Structure 1
Amino acid sequence: MKKLYYIILFFVCIHTYAQKDSTKVQQVSQLQLRSPKVQYNPLSPSKAAFYSAILPGAGQIYNNRYWWQLPLIYGGMATSIYFFIDNSNEYDRFRTAFRQRSAGLQDEFTLADGTQIISTAGLESAQRQLRQNRDLSLLTTVLIYVLQIVEASVTAHLIQFDDSDDLSLSPTAIPSRDAYDASPKVGLTLKYTF
């Protein structure tokens, strides 16, 4: 019962706030001309996605939302590319040592007296781990690239969304009109006005 009370109280507060807010809008609209609504451009999301596909971050620049997104995009891609290159170089290093050891040659992990710093099984294990890390870094780079394209397209859609004060939510409580049933009933109606 307490939950129901809090839910009703929440909607009454929203309704009261919406009424106060709508009176302000009416007063302001009487004093000054309303700004024109933004025209919907159906090609804007596809342009933003295209620009992002050509150059990462260009869609965010097209949307004028680049001040915090570009550092994340380029920082994430640069980090994952750095780890890709580093893991690839280390993989090649261990792979070369493993091949030399398999051929019976001196490798960089074997001392001059024949003592092995890393065993053959250790070289194989390092190769597997470094290959997984390299592939994960490549996957992360591709994922960041795709996500920034999707983000540019979605942002271009949402920029054009009408968020003016003409939109409102009006919760209303309607009493039951059933004469035969005297038990209290609770209902909720949401009314959207555009």
Structure 2
Amino acid sequence: MLILFFSGNADVFSQKKTDTVLATKDTLKSNDIDPLTPAKAAFYSAILPGLGQAYNKKYWKIPLVYGAIGTSLYFYSDSYKKYNQYRNAYKRRLEGYTDDKFSYLDNSRLISGQKFYQRNRDLSALIAVGFYVLNIIDANVDAALIQFNVNENLSVSPNLYRNDVTLNTNLGLTFNYNF
């Protein structure tokens, strides 16, 4: 913060004007805050999951992002494949064939297998989308919190003190800001 003081002397009779400027520099170190940093991090994570975490220099989160999304996509793929196997076996059963690998199951078991894997497929897709959105939110919030002022000069500490009049122990909070 820059503080400027202006003082002027004006002599009415001589029409002479003199200005002096005294400039002082703020002693506090100010951090430059870029309001677009959270938006950039979120945009990068939306383009490629984990890129926002790399932008925030939180590299340890990238394997977590890919692990969560990858596991969800694996279960989606597996459930989709098994759903199609049960569906195709049921369709063949309706056409009169019984030579599939599910010949030991009756029609009601094939239908319940289809419903089970269809529900798991849909749930896995929803969870994958949820992890993708969570990746974007994490990058945005983390970028906003990086700019938060965590200075050694700011402190809050609990304080116990004895009241001299009533001789009771009181609890209080002390807010300190050191220059």
TM-score (norm 1): 0.69
Aligned to 1:128: 115
Match of 1:40, SS state, is coil
Contact 1:97 1:107 in 2 (8 A): no
Tell me, which stretches of 5 or more residues in structure 1 are unaligned? 1-33, 111-115
1:185 aligns with 2:168: yes
Greater RCO, CA 8 A, separation 6+: 1
The answer to whether structure 1 residue 86 and structure 2 residue 69 are counterparts is: no
Q: Which residue number corresponds to residue 145 of structure 1?
A: 132
Structure 1 contact 45–154 (Cα < 8 Å) conserved: yes
Would you say 1:76 and 2:59 are equivalent positions? no
What are the ranges of 5 or more consecutive residues in structure 2 without an aligned counterpart?
Answer: 1-26
Higher helix share: 1
CA contact (8 A) 1:109 1:118 kept: no
Larger Rg: 2
**Pair 1:42-2:35 in alignment:** yes
Aligned length: 151
- Going from structure 1 to structure 2, the CA distance change for 1:70 and 1:161 (only over 3 Å counts) comes to same
Structure having the larger proportion of residues in strand: 2
1:3 maps to what in 2?
none
Residue type of the alignment partner of 1:140 = I
> In structure 2, do the counterparts of structure 1 residues 147 and 95 end up closer, same or farther at CA, with 3 Å as the change threshold?
same
Equivalent of 1:65, from 42, 55, 58? 58
Q: In the alignment, is the contact (CA less than 8 A) between 1:83 and 1:137 conserved in 2?
A: yes
Question: Alpha-carbon deviations, 1:36-66, whole Å to 9, x = none?
Answer: 4432211111111111112111111111112
TM-aligned CA distance change 1:99 to 1:90, over 3 Å: same
With structure 2 as the length reference, what TM-score do the two structures score?
0.74
The one-character-per-residue Cα deviations of 1:76-115 (angstroms, maximum 9, x if unpaired) are 21121121111101101100111121232345136xxxxx
RMSD of the alignment, in Å? 2.2
